[in-house]
Amino acid sequence: MTYVEAMDWMRYRRQTGPLNLGLRLEDGFAMLATAFNNVMGGKAKFSDFMPDRGFSASPKEATPQDLLALLNRVKG
């Protein structure tokens, strides 16, 4: 794959979202559930219907000890 092709794929991903069909289905069902909830008078948000995958909103910042532990594992 050339650099230009890779950049095209990155642009496509940013515009359309994940390529994983399962994730796209989850998004669609969450959107339907949110719309149905709001039509019925609920106050739910889109994120209320998305599964919690254990990802934190902000990544943990690495410490010097983390870097040293990583280098020691590679050296091993």
CA 53 centroid distance within chain: 9
pLDDT of residue 29: 93
pTM over the 0.75 mark: no
* Confidence bin at 55 (pLDDT 50/70/90): low
**Assigned domain for 14 exists:** no
CA distance 20 to 49: 18
> What average pLDDT does range 34-58 have in this prediction?
85
User: Reduced to 3 states, what is the DSSP secondary structure of residue 21?
Assistant: helix
Q: Please name the amino acid found at residue 58.
A: S
Domain that holds residue 39: 20-51
Q: Measure Cα distances from 1 to 8, 16, 19 in Å.
A: 11, 20, 18
> What average pLDDT does range 16-38 have in this prediction?
88
Q: In total, how many domains does the chain have?
A: 1
pLDDT of residue 20: 82
Hey, what are 8's tokens? 């095209």
* Confidence bin at 57 (pLDDT 50/70/90): low
**Assigned domain for 62 exists:** no
**Assigned domain for 39 exists:** yes
